[in-house]
Copies of this chain bind each other. A is one copy, B any other.
């Protein structure tokens, strides 16, 4: 079973090592992202001041750059921070809504042109927008983007990044190999910020390992497993969120492997 070949013990190692994640955050979800990073055992730091860039980058073990509420001021800050962080610190890009807002797509392209991101995390529309010269999928949600694996591979090869394309099936690829995560909870879509949280949790894992591939897979499976487990006793969005944060904060490697065993019949053949 492929899961066993991944270094799932990274979950325990994040809790043991407590890496610091600098988030240039989406103001809509900044609180959830901080709690999510803290729940997996890392320490979130946030900054909105370009003059703090050097100090903040020096503290951080990894960075997550989110375009969710980008404005001119934050665009400047992001570039200042990325200059300070390159090439020393692992970087995750979350290109929120580049599929829907052309000016964001332009900004994302300029960042991808000037800096190297270890990981790009987005939904199918967002990843498609990054690679399609003539993008026709104008929507804020993933919608029905065909050939998702191919799009993720193209994106990964173009930007020399690992791409984490999240959706009903999460696709993780370096442009050569593809890992498909079968675990999926519908509530991850209704809950605003699920993607933002994953991007910053990936950064938490990058803060303790140079194995970017395993970091992406373990973080993605952890979040989706927490989402699936949260479904079990939830009534709606409120109780799902409670259990999701419970699971994020208590899940260890052993619990994740047990979840695999229990879920095997449902998801894996």
- A257 at interface by CB-CB < 8 Å: no
Stretch touching chain B among A48-56, A113-121, A206-214: A48-56
In the complex, which of the residues B49, B236, B249 contacts A70, with contact meaning CB atoms closer than 8 Å?
B49
Q: Known contacts A72-B49, A248-B236; decide if A193 and B31 are in contact (CB<8 Å).
A: yes
- A16 at interface by CB-CB < 8 Å: no
- Is the CB–CB distance between B193 and A140 below 8 Å? no
- Is the CB–CB distance between B190 and A249 below 8 Å? yes
Min CB distance A75 to B, Å, is: 9
Contacts of A38 in B (CB 8 A): 190-192, 237
Number of copies: 3
- Is the CB–CB distance between A27 and B46 below 8 Å? yes
What 19 additional pairs, Cβ within 8 angstroms, besides A190-B249, A235-B243, A238-B242? Answer: A25-B28, A27-B30, A27-B46, A39-B190, A39-B237, A43-B141, A45-B97, A46-B69, A49-B71, A55-B101, A59-B140, A234-B246, A237-B245, A238-B244, A238-B246, A238-B249, A241-B242, A241-B245, A242-B242
Min CB distance A96 to B, Å, is: 10
Q: How large is the interface on A (under 10, 10 to 19, 20 to 34, 35 or more residues)?
A: 35 or more
- Is the CB–CB distance between B238 and A243 below 8 Å? yes
User: Hey, what's the 0/1 contact readout for A93-128 against B, CB within 8 Å counting as 1?
Assistant: 000010011111000000000000000000000000
- A34 at interface by CB-CB < 8 Å: yes
Most B C-beta atoms less than 10 A away, residue of A32, A35, A234, A243 = A35
- A90 at interface by CB-CB < 8 Å: no
Most B C-beta atoms less than 10 A away, residue of A39, A71, A238, A248 = A238
